[in-house]
Amino acid sequence: MENNNVIKVAGLTKMFGDFTAVNAITFDVKKGEIFGFLGANGAGKTTAMKMLIGISTPTSGKATVAGFDVNTQPEQIKKTIGYMSQKFALYDDLTVRENITFFGGIYGLSREKIKSKAAILIDELGLENVANKLVGSLPLGWKQKLSFSVSLIHDPKIVFLDEPTGGVDPITRRQFWELIYKASHQGTTVFVTTHYMDEAEYCDRVSIMVNGKIEALDTPKKLKERFKVDNMNDVFLKLARG
């Protein structure tokens, strides 16, 4: 089972001066798992994720992501993972097809590969009629689905989703989760940071960070049982309010 863990984190710590933003966190994430990484504003989840995606160096501790060390191989990590955020996703002033081509190029895919990927992706998402339209003109829900698919364009082992589905209607949000289930089914690990507790309900396992530490880590079902509540929002409130 050991080799099945695509993210391994041991005692990972980040300090800014005297302030400990991430305090010796330890956890593993399995291949194909949908892992929810939760915490209130300021709990340290963004800082922790920045270390895992190779854009921030830990103060101490170890972590490997897709087999690469966050301390010594951050560039390999960046090439190997996918990343999607609500804030930064696609270029609004490029068309759907141009965005796919651009990101395919960034990840070093061949022209042929990009062409075939674009065709598959446009077909799967049903975007044939808008393939040559500017992304800025698409509804938010379509953008989110496209953005997620583009983050998978180089077949990463792990995709990091940073608060991915805020604001869209309930049906579109479920279509988005169906895409996530599909990626997970195909063996891609999905690491979701969020403070939307309804997103947490969809994860296989979730961790909850409070003041830089992981205070709970389990399946949503077991967490709800442990705290004797019927939704993740109440689990979160119990932990964060102490």
Partner 1 sequence: MSIIVSNISKSYKKVKALQNISFNVKSDEIFGLIGPDGAGKTTLFRILTTLLIANKGAASIAGFDVITDYKSIRKNVGYMPGKFSLYQDLTVQENLQFFATIFGTTLEENYDLIKDIYIQIEPFKNRRAGKLSGGMKQKLALCCALIHKPKVLFLDEPTTGVDPVSRKEFWEMLKRLQGKNITILVSTPYMDEAALCDRIALIQDGQILEIATPEAIVKKYSKAIYNLSANNMFELINSLKEYKHNHSVYPFGEFVHYTDCRPDFNPTELKVFLESKNLTNIIIERTTATIEDTFMELSK
Q: Which residues bind partner 1 (CB under 8 A)?
A: 39-42, 139-141, 166-172, 174, 177-178, 181-182, 184-185, 195, 197-198, 201-202, 219-221, 232-233, 236-237, 240-241
Tally Cβ neighbours within 10 Å of residue 95: 17
The Cα–Cα gap between 27 and 49 comes to 13
Cα-only R_g, the chain: 18
Task: Tell me the residue length of the chain.
Answer: 242
Question: 182 or 226, CB closer to partner 1?
Answer: 182
Question: 15 or 140, CB closer to partner 1?
Answer: 140
Question: 95 or 172, CB closer to partner 1?
Answer: 172
Minimum Å distance from CB 141 to partner 1?
A: 8
Question: 67 or 167, CB closer to partner 1?
Answer: 167
Minimum Å distance from CB 230 to partner 1?
A: 11
Helices (H), the chain: 45-52, 74-80, 96-106, 111-124, 140-151, 170-185, 197-200, 220-226, 232-241
Nearest to 188 by CA among 161, 157, 155, 149: 157
Minimum Å distance from CB 206 to partner 1?
A: 11
Minimum Å distance from CB 35 to partner 1?
A: 14
